[in-house]
Every structure is written in C-alpha cells, then in structure tokens.
Chain A
C-alpha cells in the first residue's frame, strides 16, 4: 500500500542504488572497445603547433591540413597553442606517452631534447634535400644529431630577425643603422630628439635572439664549434657587453628592461622608436595599424659588428612522437606539406623562411615584390637571410645545455646587469660564464 510518501532511504537501498547509478554511468566506457573497432577504418592525424604571429597563416594551415585529410580519408585536427606553452605541452605529452601525432616546436629546445621520444626522420629529410636542395645551417642546427648523423625532426622554417628603422628619422640625421656603431651614434642623436632605439633587455625570445646576434658579431660566443666548452669569458664578449652598456645609456631608455616580445612592436607603431630588431611581424602589424608609418619603416639586414654581420634566428620543426598513433600519416603529411611549401610561405606573408635551399626559388614571391609595401622591393633583403641567421648554439650545435642557458636568460641578463650598472662588463661576463659552465657541466654528465 502506498502511503503517498517517499520510501525511507535505508543503508542497503542507498548502496544498491549507488551501485546501479555507477554501473549506468560506466556503460558508455564499457562499450568503447566496440565503437573503437567500428571506427578503426577511419584514420586520424593530430597536429599541435604554436599560434602563429601571422594569424592568416594559421587559417591557411588549418584548411590545408583539412584538405589533405579529405583527399586521404584521414580526419585531421590541428591545435594551436600559445608559443610560451609549447615546451610545457611537449613535456606533458612525452611524460604521458600520449598526445598529438605531429608536434611543431618553435625556437630553442625540442628535437634534440626529445630525441629519444621521436621517430628518426633521416630518410624523409634526405629525400626532401634531393628534391629541394640542402638544408641551411640554421635548419640543420636544431633537428640534426651530429653524433650519429641522424635527424630527429623535420625542418619547417626559420624566423629571421632583420633591423627595422624609421627612414625619415634616420635621414634627418644623415645616417643609416648599417653597423652597430651607427646604431649607437645615430641612436644617441635620435634619442635626443625623442626617438630612442628599442631593443629589449628583458626576459623573452627577442632579447635572447638579438643579443646573441650582437655577441657573435663582436666575435664572442657561448660555446665552441663542438659544443664541448663554454667560451663566453673572452675579450670579445667583454667588448660586446661594454658596447651594449654604451648603447643602452646613449641610445635607449630604461623601458627596455621590462619589455616582452610585443613591446618593441608597439614601440615602433607608437611613433616613438626609431629602430628595432624583430621578425617582420612587427612591420606587418604596423602596416595594418598605420600604413603611412609602415611605409616610412625600412627593413634591412641586421647591423654589422666589428667581426661579422650575423643575427640570431628561431627554427621551427616538426617531430613525430614514437607513441604517435599514425606515424605513417604524419610522414605522408610532411611530404605533401614540403611539396606545397611555397603556399605556406605566401600565407605567412614572407614570415616563414625556407630551410631547404631551393624550396622557394629566387626571386621569392612577396619578398622580392610585395604589393603592400612601398617601395615594393622593401623586403628583398630577406631573401638572403640564411646568410646572416644562426640558431642559439652558434657556432656549435643546439643541445640541452644551450637551451637551458637560453631559457634562463643568461645572455640577456649578462647584458642587462652591465647596462643597468648592477655589475661591470667584466664581472657580468664572469657571472654569465660561471652560470653557463655549471649548466654545461651538469648536462655533459647526462648526455
């Protein structure tokens, strides 16, 4: 007989109903193996890479990957993550032995660090070299393993760091920032007119890259060509640091000590900065924000130092995890991607530079004749940027110790500590040498 009330919840009833609820909730997972089997014929390929600084490139890539998937009956997903999260994502996927099939690394770190987790792509790179010419030095420094002559990753592109200057401002003082001395002398004159030079001394990728370039152009370096010894504490490095101190005091303001990667772009667009060193994304942003100002901004090879003209660059490369579910699909995709690489170059508006010698024959589209620029050949100098671009390990290979020095911002801090007067140039170099040597010693014991 119903009393019209809810039945009393006894302990037994509670346990029985809880068990039934749990069983019902877990039913979908119990059926998963059958569903998986049914879907076995439908292959998939997952890709993760950074959110490109040129958003149009991401749109192009996503569609490109999707179209390839449709042609090959493969479901392709592309995830874009902020550049700062790439390292953490890679570590998480490697630790979990699970994640995307194809992993796109950006800048320092990656292929050599995750070597034991990655599929050997030597045959793929060699086949691509046969078709499109040798890999450039900057492309080789990241994915190539000198010890056993293998490739851990497929070189995609590199980002160059040219100088950008406001022509009208530099014309006014009758100079051009062709050498680092010009930058200091001209920069001092322009600072007095309210238009300082803007090169970050903070903790981010731009200063890590730019100050390495300046160091190399003075003849200094972090390591020797074999990557065995730290050679930072040298007369050349001290000269470079002294130069940066003078450049900071005479031609820049203290703002640069706090800058991130986007600050110099904003500085240029604001109309205050007279010169920056940055990938052309800064120029592209300027074009969208203020065409007139962008037309007055000229792009040139990085300033020449007493020894050479050289600048840091950032290589991009794809690794295929050993635990990837679709390794064959990943390799096939990379082959197809390489064959269509000039499209990627155009989509990036000339930001992505080829790692294979003949991938984009010269004169390169966009760079040799950019209809959005005035004059149209403004970016032509970038066609030869592989001649003055090098990755963080220069003149040696990039390996985990070089990465750690990079990630700890030791070269940036060496410059900043001297520039801001915290240390003398000599002490600052000694400090940086000591820090780097400790890192090298640690990694030599582990590699």
Chain B
C-alpha cells in the first residue's frame, strides 16, 4: 500500500512576519527618504556648523574648537556688514519685483487670447534655463561696450554714448542689475503660483462680489489676494531661501564688484572658504543666513497655518 506523505508545512520566515506588520513596513519604506535627508542635508549642515566653530583651513586642517571666535571676527569686519546689507537688498528686492511681475503675468495669462497655451509654456523658460547661460546673456546686455540696452537707447536718440548708464560699474545700478536678473528668473515661478492660486478661488465667490458691486481692484485685493496668500507664502519661502543662499548670479556677473557693492553672503562665504581656503570663516559667513532663514520660514509657516484654520 502506498503511503502518501503528509504535506510538511514550510516554516514561515521571521522577516516575512515582521514585514507583514504595517508600522514596520511603513518605517522601512520611509527610511530611504529619511536617510537621504540625514546624509545629504543633515550631515553637511552639522559639518558646516562644526567648521564654523573650529579653526579648520585647507592650509592647516585642524578640528580645534574655537567657539564663536570666527563669528566675532567676521562681525568686526565692516565689509561683512555691507555684504549682509547687500544680501537683504538682493533677496527682498528681487522677490518683491518677481511677485509684482508674477501677479501681472498671471492676470495676463488668465485672459483668453490665441496662443495662450504656447505663451504659458514659453513663460517658464527663464526658470528652466541654466543660470550660467542666462547670466552670460544678461552680461552682454549690461556690457560696458556692447550693451544692447544702451545701443538701443543711443539708436533711439534717448542718450548719447557718453551718457550711457554704466550698468555694472555703478554700485547702485549693479545691484539693480542682479536684482532684475534674479527677479527675471523667479517671476515664471511666481506666475505659476499665482495662476494656481487664482484659478482655485471659487467662481461663485467672485461672482457674488461682482454682484455686490466690487470692482476689479476690490475683487483683487480684498477677495482674491487674501484667499491665495497661503500659496503665495509657500512660493515666497522658496524664493527667499533660494535667493539668500545664491551666489551664481554675483559670481558670474560682478564677482561682488564694483568695490564690493554686490557682494552677498553666499559669494563671500565661497571666496573665503573655498577660494582662499579659510573653511572655518567661510562656514561662519555662510551660516549667518541660517538663523535669518529659520525665523523667516517659521514665521511664514505659522502664518500659513493660521490662515488655513
């Protein structure tokens, strides 16, 4: 008589059992993202903090702890205070200009006209073009000899060559130039933010306001703007953080000149820490931005939360 063996139950792997638990699996799946942030953001930040509190230079790579001495030294430097002021002007000037242009552009793009979809796609270009390429193009526009802006004004008889503005040679105009370029880069992003916000405002709210006699300006500033403020604030956070930490436009266009008039924190930190090899002071200059950004971001996030409630 044939004997049929009883099927032997396969032992269940302990790992399978663990991964069947929802909370464990969640942790496993989220872990790569957390690890990524810790390794690529957290660790460099902590390293930068330690650099700023040490005597580390490329010449003498020592980890000797010096406390806040680096911060004290850079605060005593009058040039650093100018750099700090420049950074604020550059950041908030370009954000303000970008927002105004963005809002204006969004209203234009809300109007129906032939080719609107193409224009909407093209308007993103300044945001998508690599910063190096865009800045070089602007450099030619502001060039002292071949500026197309000056050439146009001279050709139109508005100015003579002798009176032509020295865009990158005058401290105020040079600052204006870097503000304009950054605003030009930021405004497509602002348009997208405004378009998303404005189209999300319920039409019946606007209709009701119109019926109640609200004109364009009142609808705009007392209904639409307050309703889209949270989304605008998110856009602004991105803009401020990116601009505060940016050095590319200054590095490519002015190298902080003329006479330090366009030197910003990112650029000064790079020059001191990387080019000159004083990593500790470079880190201290760069980290000056951290508390400012932290305060701005916390303030804006609190504001957004309150608005949502």
Instruction: Give the interface of A toward B (CB within 8 A).
Output: 11-12, 15, 84, 87-88, 91, 94, 109, 112-117, 201-204, 254-260, 263, 266-267, 270, 272, 400, 403-404, 407-409, 412-413, 416-417, 420, 422, 435, 438, 442-443, 445-447
Contacts and interface: CB of A to CB of B under 8 A. Distances in A.
Contacts of A115: 59
Nearest to A273: B145
A407 B276 contact: yes
B292 interface: no
Interface string B155-167: 0000000000011
12 contacts: A12-B20, A88-B270, A114-B59, A202-B169, A257-B169, A259-B144, A259-B169, A404-B272, A404-B276, A413-B257, A442-B73, A443-B59
B258 A407 contact: no
B257 A203 contact: yes
A202 B258 contact: yes
Max chain B CB contacts within 10 Å: which of A109, A201, A403, A442? A442
Contact of A15 (B19, B255, B257): B19
Interface of B: 16, 19-20, 25, 55, 57-61, 73, 76-77, 79, 142-146, 166-170, 174, 251, 254-260, 270-272, 274-278, 281
A258 B257 CA distance: 7
B235 to A, nearest CB: 31
Given A88-B275, A263-B144, A270-B145, A255 B169 contact: yes
B83 to A, nearest CB: 11
* 6 tightest A-B CB contacts, nearest first: A257-B169, A258-B168, A258-B169, A203-B255, A203-B257, A255-B144
B57 A446 contact: yes
A109 B144 contact: no
Contacts of B25: 11
Given A91-B277, A407-B276, 9 more contacts: A88-B270, A117-B58, A202-B169, A255-B169, A263-B143, A266-B146, A407-B271, A442-B281, A447-B60
Contacts of A438: 73, 76-77
Max chain A CB contacts within 10 Å: which of B251, B255, B275? B275
Contacts of A88: 270, 274-275
Contact of A87 (B59, B73, B274, B281): B274
A445 to B, nearest CB: 8
B255 A202 contact: yes
Contacts of B276: 109, 400, 403-404, 407-408
A234 B173 CA distance: 33
B254 A91 contact: no
A336 to B, nearest CB: 30
B59 A447 contact: yes
Contacts of A413: 257, 259-260
B258 A201 contact: yes
A256 B169 contact: yes
Contacts of B271: 407-408
Contacts of A442: 73, 278, 281
B278 A404 contact: yes
A202 B257 contact: yes
Nearest to B167: A258
A438 B251 CA distance: 24
B253 to A, nearest CB: 9
A416 B259 contact: yes
A145 B169 CA distance: 39
A201 B277 CA distance: 25
Contacts of A91: 58, 274-275, 277
Nearest to B257: A203
Contacts of B142: 258
Nearest to B66: A445
A408 B271 CA distance: 7
Nearest to B56: A446
A266 B166 contact: no
Nearest to B174: A258
B274 A11 contact: no
Given A15-B19, A267-B145, A87 B61 contact: no
A114 B58 contact: yes
Contacts of A259: 144, 169
A320 B57 CA distance: 20
B58 to A, nearest CB: 6
A118 B258 CA distance: 36
Contacts of A263: 143-145
A400 B57 CA distance: 10
Max chain A CB contacts within 10 Å: which of B57, B168, B255, B259? B259
B60 A11 contact: no
Contacts of A112: 59
A254 B257 contact: no
Nearest to A403: B276
A34 to B, nearest CB: 29
A254 B260 contact: no
Contacts of A435: 77, 79
A38 to B, nearest CB: 32
A116 B56 CA distance: 13
A409 B257 contact: yes
B259 to A, nearest CB: 5
Contacts of B61: 116
A130 B167 CA distance: 53
Nearest to B73: A442
A230 B257 CA distance: 24
Contacts of B73: 438, 442
A11 B19 contact: yes
A257 B58 contact: no
Contact of B256 (A94, A254, A409): A409
B166 A407 contact: no
A209 to B, nearest CB: 15
B59 A446 contact: yes
Given A115-B59, A263-B145, A267-B145, A257 B257 contact: yes
Nearest to B173: A258
Contacts of B77: 435, 438
A30 B159 CA distance: 69
Contact of B259 (A15, A116, A420, A446): A420
